[in-house]
Amino acid sequence: MASMEATELRELGQQFRVDSIRCAAAAKSGHPTSGMSAADLMAVLVANHLRYDFDDPKNPGNDRLVFSKGHASTLLYAIFRAAGAISDEELLEYRSFGSILEGHPTPLIPWVDVATGSLGQGLPIGVGMALAGKYLDRLPSRVWVLCGDSEMAEGSMWEAFEHAAHYELDNLTAIIDVNRLGQRGETMVGWDVDVYRDRAHAFGWEAIEIDGHDVEAIERAYTEAASTSGKPTVVIARTIKGKGVKAVENQPGWHGKALDDPDAAIEELGGVRNIQVEVSKPAKGEAHRFAEGELELPRYELGDEVATRKAYGEALAALGGARGDVVALDGEVGNSTFAEIFAKAHPDRYFEMYIAEQQLLAAAVGLQARGWNVFASTFAAFFSRAYDFIRMAAISRANLRLAGSHAGISIGEDGPSQMALEDIASLRAIHSSTVLHPCDANQTAKLVAAMADTEGIVFLRTLRPNTPVIYDADEEFAVGGSRVVRSSDEDDVTLVGAGVTVHEALKAAEALEEEGIGARVIDLYSIKPIDADTLQAAAEATGRIITVEDHFPEGGVGEAVIAALANSDERPRVVQLAVREMPRSGKAEELLSAYGIDAEHIAAAARQLVSAKVAAS
């Protein structure tokens, strides 16, 4: 390699600085000084090391370049201009409405795989990409991640360090731009770069310390990184924020601002340049593909007692047999989520992520960015640990399948720390999300299969306890649908449940029938998208709705139902049953009763609602 010599590399670095200043000046905002510190690091990379086909960004043989310090977007866009991917005019539309060159990079740009801008995410996502390259695609591509030094304070970076070493990701290179200055002052480490070296070593990485403005040292470092085997490499580069422009160089107070006098700065840097970089293309090569077969989902007998989490694991293993693109991850609870069934069936496509939910999510994002169909599981409560990663995954336009087990108080004795009671709300609020909550094993199996073809962030909420199989194995369940489990022409009230509360609602309906109250029961297994038509029909038929959910009241099943009916002609009276206290440990039945979401409470609420309406009319 080494096609570009030092003199020209230095010029290219200056061009990147100038372009960073120019586009920020045009936008009157941005983080030019953060791009200027890393300009030489990127000049050497794109000129002499990166293998990337800008005309074929999905080529599995491409290297991947991730700007974990997403605020340095001016630098990334300067690279795109130098590579001929965008014009100078496009560069100068930076941050303007309609431009794909947003304040922080997103995959609206064809050459950006994942959104960054929430710090500490690019490196763990890079781990996922490197896992894909080494163990799934099995191609000699490399993953390069430009990290800021401020973001080294994020624990997620150390999750990435640990996992990358554990999986011996010698195809991953992290480049830390140690410019010392964060948004409001110095980092905890400052320029004491040996600290980063010692930490990297302690986490099992190769570490190379360099002056990040010495293009020859950078060149040597990347060459060494590429030839290091059995472990990832971090290039720790001491740099100067705002390098090259005296007015801002190594000065606090210049984070996230366009320069005061861009023309003078550009002159100081030697003026505008138009160096074009011929980025090397990857060698030809096909990504590995796994065997595929017929889909044979598990089938459960009506009346059997099966936990939906168990059905998840069995269905996922079946799906993996049918589709070679399916990959599964779990956060060290695979014997609880039953991801272990997939792991045993398809060990080559399973990655243990240990108790590191941020890395779990980030790896999933990285894997899907390389075209894999990823299912990630842990307790539903613990996806909250990675909520920012899920939020950013939506901005990444990622397709992710998340399975959260042990939802709600029905888990029993383990207590509230293990109970997901905010998951429906928080995941409904994610843009592009789908939220599914099956109540029986056959339904779960069908939905697991549907997840693989559903775009966006798809969340499946499963249960710890066994629940009776109430649907035939041949029934179909579409995303966005619901099931009227029980109805008559003379229903007085509609009971809407999901998951464990469907079974409680059915019991309540039986009890109510004996008292002459007709109760329709809707299984709202697809909470988002929601089946507004069926709810509307029930509203018209019964005029009263009781929603019941094993979740806190805000943002869950009840509010989803109420919102779906709010702009309709017929707006029924709705009573929301939900968990309204902080639950305690106890048996599942005790808790369902104590917190007012069991059959008895549903029936009581129905009696009251029906009599109130009668009294009012």
Q: Which is nearer to its own copies, 59 or 405 (CB)?
A: 405
Binding to its own copies (CB under 8 A) within 162-181 occurs at 162-163, 166
Segment interacting with its own copies (CB under 8 A) among 5-13, 209-217, 310-318, 570-578: 570-578
Rounded CA separation 191/201 (Å): 18
Binding to its own copies (CB under 8 A) within 453-512 occurs at none
Q: Which is nearer to its own copies, 419 or 450 (CB)?
A: 419
109: DSSP letter: S
Smallest separation, CB 293 to its own copies (Å)? 27
Rounded CA separation 14/219 (Å): 17
For 430, residues 6+ apart whose C-beta sits below 8 A from its C-beta are 390, 391, 394, 457
Count of residues engaged in binding its own copies, rule: CB under 8 A: 114
Q: Is 611 exposed, middle or buried (0-12, 13-18, 19+ CB in 10 A)?
A: exposed
Does residue 391 touch its own copies according to CB under 8 A? yes
Q: Which is nearer to its own copies, 17 or 104 (CB)?
A: 104
Segment interacting with its own copies (CB under 8 A) among 34-42, 59-67, 79-87, 148-156: 148-156
Residue 370 C-alpha from the chain's centroid: 14
Does residue 284 touch its own copies according to CB under 8 A? no
Alpha helices in 256-354 (DSSP H): 262-268, 308-322, 334-337, 339-345
Q: Which residues pair with 408 in a beta bridge?
A: none
- Which one among 190, 283, 587, 611 touches its own copies, defined by CB under 8 A? 587
Rounded CA separation 139/614 (Å): 70
Segment interacting with its own copies (CB under 8 A) among 44-52, 243-251, 437-445, 573-581: 573-581
Collapsed DSSP state (helix, strand, coil) of residue 476: coil
Q: Which is nearer to its own copies, 107 or 285 (CB)?
A: 107
- Which one among 40, 137, 154, 268 touches its own copies, defined by CB under 8 A? 154
Collapsed DSSP state (helix, strand, coil) of residue 326: strand
CB 358 within 8 A of CB 383: no
Does residue 270 touch its own copies according to CB under 8 A? no
Binding to its own copies (CB under 8 A) within 525-564 occurs at 528, 552-556, 558-560, 562-563
Smallest separation, CB 199 to its own copies (Å)? 4
Does residue 582 touch its own copies according to CB under 8 A? yes
Smallest separation, CB 585 to its own copies (Å)? 4
Q: Which is nearer to its own copies, 154 or 206 (CB)?
A: 154
Does residue 416 touch its own copies according to CB under 8 A? yes
Does residue 598 touch its own copies according to CB under 8 A? no
CA–CA distances in Å: residue 162 to residues 58, 92, 120, 204, 605: 28, 40, 14, 7, 52
Smallest separation, CB 355 to its own copies (Å)? 5
Smallest separation, CB 525 to its own copies (Å)? 17
β-pairing verdict for 373-379 and 326-330: parallel
Smallest separation, CB 185 to its own copies (Å)? 8
- Which one among 229, 514, 569, 614 touches its own copies, defined by CB under 8 A? 569
CB 580 within 8 A of CB 595: yes
Rounded CA separation 518/492 (Å): 5
CB 547 within 8 A of CB 575: yes
CA–CA distances in Å: residue 427 to residues 127, 390, 402: 24, 9, 10
* Token duo for residue 457: 């962030």
Collapsed DSSP state (helix, strand, coil) of residue 140: coil
Does residue 126 touch its own copies according to CB under 8 A? no
Nearest to 148 by CA among 18, 269, 255, 258: 255
Segment interacting with its own copies (CB under 8 A) among 1-9, 103-111, 226-234, 470-478: 103-111
Residues with active-site annotation: 357
Element (H, E) at 173: strand 172-178
Rounded CA separation 348/364 (Å): 15
Binding to its own copies (CB under 8 A) within 59-88 occurs at 70
Q: Which is nearer to its own copies, 30 or 262 (CB)?
A: 30
Segment interacting with its own copies (CB under 8 A) among 200-208, 224-232, 264-272, 485-493: 200-208
Q: Which is nearer to its own copies, 240 or 381 (CB)?
A: 381
Segment interacting with its own copies (CB under 8 A) among 109-117, 220-228, 494-502, 507-515: 109-117
405: DSSP letter: E
Smallest separation, CB 535 to its own copies (Å)? 13
Smallest separation, CB 353 to its own copies (Å)? 9
- Let me know the angle formed at the C-alpha of 317 by 140 and 143, rounded to the nearest 5 degrees: 20
Does residue 153 touch its own copies according to CB under 8 A? yes
Site string for its own copies, 302-341 (x = CB under 8 A): ------------------------------xxxxx---x-
CB 203 within 8 A of CB 161: yes
- Which one among 110, 285, 415, 465 touches its own copies, defined by CB under 8 A? 415
Smallest separation, CB 555 to its own copies (Å)? 3
Site string for its own copies, 231-260 (x = CB under 8 A): ------------------------------
Segment interacting with its own copies (CB under 8 A) among 9-17, 201-209, 233-241, 312-320: 201-209
Q: Is 515 exposed, middle or buried (0-12, 13-18, 19+ CB in 10 A)?
A: exposed
Does residue 590 touch its own copies according to CB under 8 A? yes
Smallest separation, CB 465 to its own copies (Å)? 13
- Which one among 146, 210, 395, 451 touches its own copies, defined by CB under 8 A? 395
274: DSSP letter: -
Smallest separation, CB 64 to its own copies (Å)? 19
What length is written for the chain? 617
Rounded CA separation 82/273 (Å): 10
Nearest to 460 by CA among 409, 528, 519: 528
Q: Which is nearer to its own copies, 166 or 323 (CB)?
A: 166
* Token duo for residue 447: 């939905």
What spatial distance separates the first Cα and last Cα of the chain, rounded to whole Å?
84
Binding to its own copies (CB under 8 A) within 341-380 occurs at 352, 354-359
Element (H, E) at 574: strand 573-577
